[in-house]
Amino acid sequence: MEFGVFSVSDVTRDPVSGTTPSEAERIDALTQIARKTEEVGLDVFAVGEHHNPPFFSSSPTTFLAYLAGQTSTLKLSTATTLITTNDPVRLAEEYAMLQHLAKGRMDLMLGRGNTAPVYPWFGKDIRSGLPLALENYNLLHRLWREDVVDFEGNFRTPLQGFTSTPRPLDDVAPFVWHGSIRTPEIAEQAAYYGDGFFSNHIFAPSEHSLRLIEFYRKRFEHYGHGSAKQAIVGLGGQAFIAKNSQDARKQFRPYFNEAPVYGHGPRMEDFMEQTPLSVGSPQEVIDKTLGFREIFGDYQRQMFLIDHAGLPLPAVLDQLELLGEEVVPVLRRELESKRDPETPDAPSHASLVKAKYGDAAPRQPRPNANRGDNVTGGSPYQDTESALETGVAR
């Protein structure tokens, strides 16, 4: 099972110090958080995509590519890549490039996005959000798996004989999670393609996420990708960790009370009781997270949001220390001891290559220089010798 942290990249006033970091300071801080995530032994770091203040992560592939050069084992991902307002051709190209630069240490989570003004900024209509998500992902899925694509849909100009470059690393598409807070259609989409389903699991009771996850698992099995137990599930969650419960609640309370999303609303204790929010000692966070397995069964990825609402960098780094030293090692041991043997690991680039090629060498696409601009049709790539011999060139 994978453990990691994700950020929504908010630039928020610190209610304790009264200061608001600059965008430059926040970007630098998140870089330090990502490096610390690897240092303490966690598996995954993810960042969201936003195109409006107070968020800075309008170009997650640029940021993650930089982190790829700063890390060596950390898997890099997104806490949402907008499949609606982004052109699928650009997504195919940018994330394939990231896949190469990270040497396969990446995946991505696709989502619709629910910030209404963003849609017209990119020439889209939020009322078409769902059909946009379905059509755009169908194209993205094909662009990573077919050398030459002909496509005609409702939301972009047609493609004729189009090749997305670079081709994915080892000719294996990045693994995709489909993220949702409330939409069963997105869970259906994940199940149809045999992709992962990630439940935000932050603002609503676990029972709400359970309905979506159970639906996804049933549909995953329906489409023939394996048993319901073999479906790939990820969970979000919020945490604030200190050495003891009293310190955790005292330190986090002003940030909770002023948080842009739930500030000036419910009491922190009520929110902790009714949602997945964990505020407490390492043991309290361990106990609450272990309780998720009792609700959802085995799953593959647990992510924590720990840097939002104006929390200063030292407080975030302290939480990472506690996660890496006291929380995650216990969670790994306890969850592994309870794990059903039928439950698969979270997909990795190596496992996807193995699933496609077995023991054969993977295809390494090479542009065929003799074909010019591919004006005559057919693939603009020559097949490698190993691929031709094993019959997996295409």
Q: What is the pLDDT along the chain (394 residues), one digit of tens a residue?
A: 999 999 999 999 999 999 999 999 999 999 999 999 999 999 999 999 999 899 999 999 999 999 999 999 999 999 999 999 999 999 999 999 999 999 999 999 999 877 778 888 988 888 888 899 999 999 999 999 999 999 999 999 999 999 999 999 999 999 999 998 778 899 999 999 999 999 988 888 899 999 999 999 999 999 999 999 999 999 999 999 999 999 999 999 999 999 988 888 899 999 999 999 999 999 999 999 999 999 999 999 999 999 999 999 999 999 999 999 999 999 999 999 999 999 999 999 999 999 999 999 999 999 876 555 544 456 788 665 444 343 343 3
CB-count burial class (<10 Å; 0-12, 13-18, 19+) for 212: buried
SS3 (DSSP) at 44: strand
Interhelix angle 313-322/23-39, nearest 10 degrees: 10
Residues 87 and 139: their CA atoms lie apart, in Å, by 10
pLDDT confidence of residue 375:
47
Beta carbons within 8 Å of 258's beta carbon, 6+ residues apart: 13, 15, 264, 309, 310
The pair phi, psi for residue 46, each rounded to 5°, is -135, 150
Tokens linked to 57:
């992560």
SS3 (DSSP) at 321: helix
Residues 238 and 306: their CA atoms lie apart, in Å, by 6
pLDDT confidence of residue 370:
59
- pTM higher than the cut 0.85: yes
pLDDT confidence of residue 379:
78
Distance, first Cα to last Cα, the chain: 32
pLDDT confidence of residue 119:
87
